[in-house]
Amino acid sequence: MIAALKSDLSHVDVGAAGTSMRFLTAFLALTPGTHVITGSERMKQRPIRILVDALRQLGADISYVENDGFPPLRIVGGSLHGGTITVPGDISSQYISALMMIGPRLSGGLTIRLTGNVGSRPYINMTLAMMRQCGASADWQGDVITIPESNYSSSISRVEGDWSASSYWYSLVAQHGGSVRLRGLFPTSLQGDSKMREYGSLLGVETVFSDGFAVLSRRSDAVLPSSVNLDLADEPDLAQTLVTALCSLRIPFLISGLNSLRIKETDRLQALHDELAKCGFDIKILEDEQSNFSLSWSPADVHSQLSTEPIATYKDHRMAMSFAAITSAVRQIDIADPDVVSKSYPSFWSDLAKAGFSINEL
């Protein structure tokens, strides 16, 4: 994202960064000039039609360079106007956030009507809060987001630490004990993934906040639940951490609200199924009549035939980090393409070494 914003914007390659693809598509539609935005081969398989159609409603000149409905995109920017658009609420919140952030710069402002069951609400609320911090006005009532025309007039004074990244440490502390201090996490957070504090408590991990740090420790009196039933529709990025941790701790689970995992860096449902099978866990992918997806596992779904193949990460940073935390169930684990963590947590492996884990590059 930083490299793209520093470039001349005529040709932008976001690699595997889905957030950057969505946010920059809206930004480039607002920015005068002709732009081509592309990404990795996986990015070219990730749908973007809903966002493109919404921007076209606002006057955007966007065409598909290769396959209809997917990046790369050719964008002739600068011709947007305000108005009212209708967007499905049950798709990636990043489409909605991308539109919201350009809203104040549109003549007459922007009204977004959301249809269907709105998922990932905390991410939309986080966008609203940060827009307000930067001087814009925005309101969300019912299924309507209203953004008057205005200017951004101030800057962000503090960026929180990443609660999504903290989830791997909750998993590690739950399995191995010890105590870990994480910088920049606060008891009051804009991030929906701060729910990890509550989920960590389920796994016996206590969180104490002090001087800008969150200190994670496993409670000596912790009693793990006999089973767990969670809906992660608002926190889908925590799914891989929790699924691998619950398997490792041998806690039966049913986790729902996972529809968006099909269109992430990889099909995360299938990836979890396939890679956990290498570790001896046969998780089930469930689909109901409304095409809502869930994952389940019970101790009966364990087999003793472990694979010697490395864990495939599918160019997905969260696959690498969530499986690194499964070592209480599998004493040694080989993880392919470990550099994928650079997407969100470049120092993950060195931090893991600081915590006492033995890490060898093969």
Query: Model confidence over 39-61: pLDDT tens digits?
Result: 999 899 999 999 999 999 999 99
Report pLDDT for 354: 93
Q: Please, what's the b/e burial string for 74-94 (b: 16 or more CB within 10 A of its CB; e: otherwise)?
A: ebebeebebeebebbbebbbb
Listed by start position, the domains of the chain span 1-79, 81-157, 163-354
With cut-offs at 50, 70 and 90, classify the pLDDT of residue 121: confident
Higher pLDDT, 12 or 325: 12
CA–CA dist 8, 143 (Å, integer): 37
Q: Is the pLDDT of residue 224 over 80?
A: yes
CA–CA dist 173, 200 (Å, integer): 9
> Which CATH number applies to 163-354: 3.65.10.10, 3.20.20.140, 2.60.120.10, 3.10.100.10?
3.65.10.10
Beta-carbon contacts of 347 under 8 Å, excluding residues fewer than 6 positions away, are none
| Residues in a beta bridge with 12 | 37
| Residues in a beta bridge with 207 | 216
Report pLDDT for 262: 80
Q: Is the pLDDT of residue 208 over 80?
A: yes
Q: Is 240 left (phi over 0), alpha (psi -120 to 50) or beta?
A: alpha
Report pLDDT for 243: 97
Nearest CA to 168 out of 248, 51, 264 is that of: 248
Which SS3 state, helix, strand or coil, does residue 77 take? strand
Count, in order, helices (H) and strands (E) of the chain: 11, 15
Beta-carbon contacts of 227 under 8 Å, excluding residues fewer than 6 positions away, are 251, 252, 253, 254
CA–CA dist 96, 51 (Å, integer): 8
Report pLDDT for 329: 63
Beta-carbon contacts of 30 under 8 Å, excluding residues fewer than 6 positions away, are 77, 78, 80, 102, 105, 106
Taking every pair of Cα atoms in the chain, the longest distance, rounded to a whole number of angstroms, is 63
Q: Is 310 left (phi over 0), alpha (psi -120 to 50) or beta?
A: beta
> Which CATH number applies to 81-157: 3.90.1200.10, 3.60.20.10, 3.65.10.10, 3.20.20.70?
3.65.10.10
With cut-offs at 50, 70 and 90, classify the pLDDT of residue 351: very high
Which SS3 state, helix, strand or coil, does residue 236 take? helix
Q: What is the mean pLDDT of the chain?
A: 92
Higher pLDDT, 331 or 151: 151
CA–CA dist 70, 64 (Å, integer): 7
Q: Is the pLDDT of residue 180 over 90?
A: yes
The domain made up of 1-79 has a fold known as UDP-n-acetylglucosamine1-carboxyvinyl-transferase; Chain (3.65.10)
Asked if the domains at 81-157 and 163-354 fall in one CATH topology, the answer is yes
Report pLDDT for 196: 97
Which residues are designated catalytic?
237
Strands 139-141 and 144-147: antiparallel
β-sheet with 293-297: strand ranges across: 228-231, 253-256, 293-297, 284-287
- The alpha helices in the chain, defined as continuous H runs, are 2-6, 18-30, 49-57, 93-102, 121-133, 163-176, 196-202, 239-248, 268-278, 317-324, 348-354
Q: What is the pLDDT of residues 72-98, one digit of tens each?
A: 999 999 989 999 999 998 878 899 999
* 310-323 mean pLDDT: 94
CA–CA dist 147, 83 (Å, integer): 10
- pTM of the predicted model as reported, rounded to 2 decimal places: 0.80
Instruction: Give the rounded distance of the alpha carbon of 348 from its chain centre.
Output: 17
Q: What is the pLDDT of residues 275-307, one digit of tens each?
A: 999 998 999 999 888 788 999 999 887 776 778
Report pLDDT for 304: 67
Q: What is the pLDDT of residues 234-271, one digit of tens each?
A: 899 999 999 999 999 999 999 999 988 887 777 999 99
Percent of the chain with pLDDT over 90: 75
Q: Is the pLDDT of residue 310 over 70?
A: yes
Q: Is the peptide bond before 72 cis (omega within 30 degrees of 0)?
A: yes
With cut-offs at 50, 70 and 90, classify the pLDDT of residue 325: confident
Query: Residue type for 163, please?
Result: W
Higher pLDDT, 354 or 261: 354
Place of tokens 């890490």: 359
Report pLDDT for 361: 87
* 178-201 mean pLDDT: 94
